[in-house]
């Protein structure tokens, strides 16, 4: 199965984010149900590994916090903008949680994540979008800010890749103190 660790987002926040969709011809907006903040992508594992991952995540101790999304950013690949996202504000507890998860997963045998943690919520895949259109949209939404939300758990999701969108299933929630 294909796994990743993420923060599920409350309905209220997902509705606000879904409300940003539109105005970028060719963008593939993430359906509201799929909006999340990835803490660690795991990828394909055997079920015995999934069990070890679950054990490791269950042992993570970290505190709850308020999550604030503010600002819009993009990821590029090979000189093309591929992804449009909402930025999570700097947050010590979020970073701490992410580090704890990283350490736990390495102990469970996962190879270290090499990429720096850049907390974000993917809004759309935009690899088919003319850059000028995208730049205009990003500029128009640069002051985006959502009400802070309380984060009281993190979640191990499975992901089934589909033709249009992946289907994510929350497998286990882990409480934060
Ligand atoms: P698709 O790949 O079909 O576009 P998806 O990216 O929504 O679907 P997954 O590929 O299963 O679904 O990814 C699940 C989550 O993990 C997403 O938030 C994705 O951005 C993130 N992710 C996927 N691959 C990586 C990776 N190599 N490094 C970091 N995060 C990743
Ligand atoms: Mg993917």
Global confidence as pTM: 0.96
Q: Which CATH class is domain 2-175?
A: alpha beta
CA distance 26 to 23: 9
Q: Catalytic site residue 120? A: yes
CA distance 107 to 3: 17
Domain extents in the chain:
2-175
- Report the residue among 159, 167, 169 best suited for mutation to probe ligand 1: largest number of ligand atoms under 8 A from its CB: 159
Ligand number with the minimum distance to the CA of 30: 1
CA distance 122 to 28: 11
- pLDDT, tens digit (0-9, with 9 covering 90-100), for 45-78: 999 999 999 999 999 999 999 999 999 999 999 9
pLDDT at position 103 is 98
Instruction: With CA atoms as reference, report the closest residue to 17 among 28, 26, 30, 4.
Output: 30
Q: Find the length of the chain.
A: 177
Instruction: With CA atoms as reference, report the closest residue to 61 among 177, 170, 169.
Output: 177
């Amino acid at each position: 199965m294909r796994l990743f660790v993420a923060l599920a987002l409350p309905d209220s926040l997902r509705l606000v984010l879904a409300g940003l969709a539109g105005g970028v011809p060719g963008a593939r907006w993430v359906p509201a149900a799929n909006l999340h903040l990835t803490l660690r992508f795991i990828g394909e594992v055997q079920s015995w590994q999934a069990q070890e991952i679950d054990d490791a995540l269950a042992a993570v101790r970290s505190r709850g916090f308020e999550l604030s999304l503010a600002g819009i950013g993009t990821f590029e690949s090979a000189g093309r903008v591929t992804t449009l996202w909402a930025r999570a504000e700097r947050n010590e507890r979020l970073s701490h949680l992410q580090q704890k998860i990283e350490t736990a997963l390495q102990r469970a045998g996962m190879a270290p994540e090499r990429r720096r943690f850049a907390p974000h919520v993917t809004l759309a895949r935009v690899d088919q979008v003319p850059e000028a259109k995208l730049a205009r949209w990003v500029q128009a939404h640069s002051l985006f800010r959502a009400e802070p939300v309380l984060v009281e758990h993190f979640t191990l999701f499975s992901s089934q890749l589909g033709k249009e969108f992946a289907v994510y299933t929350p497998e286990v929630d882990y409480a934060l103190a």
